[in-house]
Amino acid sequence: MPQNPDLDPVVLPMPLRFGEDHHTEYANNIKALKVELVDAPTRRQMWNVAWRYTKSTWADSPSATNPTYASDAELSTNLEDVLNFRALPTPMEAMGFTFQISGLSFQDVTHIIRHRAGSFAAQCTGDRDLRNDPSVIPGAVENSPEFLARWTEIVDASKQLYVDMVDDKTVSLMDARLILPKSMATFYQMRLNFKDLLGFIRQRQDMQIQPASDNIIAALMAKEVLRVMPEASTVVDFTKPDMHYIKTFRVQDGDKWVSRGTNLYWPEPKNDVFEYHPNDSIYQCRREEINGTNPPVDTPTAFEERWDNILRDIDILKMQYSNEKLIDVVSDSSVG
């Protein structure tokens, strides 16, 4: 069909920024992370679906699966049994949780989307102008003045080249974006059923082989879930040893010892349960000891500070659930 200049142009879903200067806001990559639970079933909905699933097997009629006839304490206990595989675990697959995760570097994105059981929606880079997008910086770089100056110089230079190519209109947005670094920040929507979500949290909480950003995302997800499903506090544990790391750090292979995993750092205290040579790891220290050329003295890293705060919040949520169960027990005793 021919072009028709008499038609009104369509309204594009994104602003065009040709000719504008670029701007970059920098943030610490740990402090920038934000996890919001934007959609989830109510606690009662989770109680009800767990009850119907688990009671169907031996029910004589459909009405026998009706959760209306169960007390809240019974419904909660049944859900806890489901989560701990003391009852049919299938209801976990019927509970969907949608998160908005922001402050992600594009390196972080690769760790999230490899979880194929999830459903994702991304902030676009193909036809959206990225000249004002923010960038994140690891704490070790922030604590290294020379490296920090070079880091921001390279990011700014890549942004300027991106803008020059886009504004010239001889290089498309889709091609120009390839010059931008992985440190550019973005956000994703991520939906998982609870069974897969629990697997994600347990994998990404590993401080030995997963990056600090993954640890924070896992902890924030767990915290959000515990707010709406207190029963999940019985299956979330950030103090347990990281067994994959422990089992693969030193493995005997014939007459020699080899690594079958990611030997980046010495074991954290909770994982320091085996003998090892100092040179078994790439770095001869623990992860948070690698903190730049000029780190602050006697000050926790950004990760340590945020990690401790999140786990403190999780402990409070766990205590609240324990108190709730204790009240139920006392109430039952009183009725009896």
Domain tally, the chain: 2
Query: Residue 334 — very low, low, confident or very high, per pLDDT cuts 50/70/90?
Result: low
Residue 16 lies in a domain: no
When pLDDT is averaged across residues 136-146 and rounded to a whole number, the result is 98
The pLDDT > 70 percentage for the chain reads 98
Q: How far apart, in whole angstroms, are the C-alpha atoms of residue 310 and residue 312?
A: 5
User: Does 4 reside within a domain?
Assistant: no
How do beta strands 96-105 and 34-39 pair?
antiparallel
pLDDT in tens, 225-272: 999 999 999 999 999 999 999 999 999 999 999 999 999 999 999 999
User: Domain limits at 267?
Assistant: 243-289
Query: 219 with 266, same domain?
Result: no
Does the residue 80 lie in any domain? yes
Kindly state whether residue 1 falls inside one of the protein's structural domains.
no
Q: Are residues 47 and 178 in the same domain?
A: yes
Q: Smallest Cα–Cα separation from 195: which of 315, 44, 46, 43?
A: 46
Q: Does 222 lie in the same domain as 110?
A: yes
Q: Does the pTM of the predicted model rise above 0.75?
A: yes
Between 116 and 198, residue with greater pLDDT: 198
* Residue 303 near residue 30 (C-beta atoms within 8 A): yes
Specify whether 325 is located in the same domain as 271: no
| Residues 179 and 271 reside in one and the same domain | no
To the nearest whole number, what is the mean pLDDT of the chain? 95
Q: What pLDDT is stored for residue 116 in this prediction? A: 84
Examine the domain organization and report whether 67 and 216 are in the same domain: yes
| 255 lies in the same domain as 188 | no
User: In terms of domains, do 145 and 178 share one?
Assistant: yes
Domain CATH number, residue 181 = 3.30.1360.170
State the maximum Cα–Cα separation within the chain, in Å, rounded to a whole number: 84
Buried b vs exposed e over 5-16: b needs ≥16 C-beta within 10 Å? Answer: eeeeeeeeeeee
Query: Does 57 share its domain with 32?
Result: yes
Q: In terms of domains, do 130 and 199 share one?
A: yes
Residues 144 and 264 in one domain: no
